Amino acid sequence: MTYRSKLNCALALTLAFAVTGCAGTGGTNPAAGSFAAKHGMTSDAPPAIDGIAGKYAGNLKDPLLGAGGAVVSLSQSASSAGGLMQIQTAKASATVSLALNVSSANAVTGTGIVVVKALPPCSIDVTATYDPKTITLQGKYTGFNNCSQTGHFKLKEDCYYDVATPVAGALKPRAFPKPC
């Protein structure tokens, strides 16, 4: 093969992989092929747990807001996850924007910004554990900016989103709870 033929072959393969990597399916996180390449991720990175991407609902106790319910939607690519938590108690409602890191040991850590109407935003540290057998996410949070708020939550996964590939690509499809 000539140099020019090798170059054309390499370009064709690169284009094919790029197009394939961008092909996602409806109702899932976008495929991470192009994201991974853009950010220098490789497939030998340690895999995340069987994904926390999905919709959750459960209970929350907070000294400031009181006891109430929480609904969470999370998306995940490799070991990074994020999403929104909606909190409703008798005293107030709040929205929490979450940025999380998921380890292969089922540990979830990160930060969030809590917004309660008429109060300044509150920054929180979040630590939690995901149990894939009971499909629960349970943890606590502690305020560190504009508040000293603390609380804990226990959420059950109602449905899941596929975790983006390639890092989580070796994971088996889930049988439960159900796809979102």
d(CA 99, CA 84) in angstroms, rounded, equals 9
Q: What does the pLDDT read at residue 20? A: 31
By the 8 A CB rule, do 70 and 86 touch?
Answer: yes
Q: What does the pLDDT read at residue 176? A: 67
Average pLDDT over residues 38-58: 62
Give the rounded percent of residues in the chain with a pLDDT score beyond 90.
43
| DSSP sequence for 112-137 | EEEEETTS--EEEEEEEEEETTTTEE
Please state, in angstroms and as integers, the Cα–Cα distance from residue 28 to each residue in 24, 101, 152, 180, following that order: 7, 19, 29, 8
* CB proximity list for 43: less than 8 A, separation 6 or greater: 36, 166, 167, 169
- 165 pLDDT above the threshold of 60: no
Q: Which CATH superfamily is domain 54-160 in?
A: Quinohemoprotein amine dehydrogenase alpha subunit, domain 2 (2.40.128.120)
Give the rounded percent of residues in the chain with a pLDDT score beyond 70.
64
Does residue 122 or residue 39 have the better pLDDT?
A: 122
> Phi and psi (nearest 5°) for 52?
-110, 5
- 28 pLDDT above the threshold of 60: no
- Half-sphere CA count of 154, side-chain side, radius 13 A: 3
- 111 pLDDT above the threshold of 60: yes
Domain regions of the chain by residue span: 3-38, 54-160
Q: Are strands 93-102 and 66-77 parallel, antiparallel or unpaired?
A: unpaired
Average pLDDT over residues 16-30: 36
Q: What does the pLDDT read at residue 104? A: 78
> Phi and psi (nearest 5°) for 12?
-65, -45
pTM score above 0.85 = no
Single out the residue of 38, 44, 42, 40 nearest to residue 22, CA to CA: 38
- 2 pLDDT above the threshold of 90: no
| Cα 107-160-122 angle, rounded to 5 deg | 55
- 43 pLDDT above the threshold of 90: no
Residue 60: is it exposed, middle or buried by C-beta count within 10 angstroms (0-12/13-18/19+)? buried
Average pLDDT over residues 13-19: 32
- 137 pLDDT above the threshold of 60: yes
Average pLDDT over residues 50-73: 91
In this predicted structure, which of 24-38, 64-78, 91-105, 119-133 has the lowest mean pLDDT? 24-38
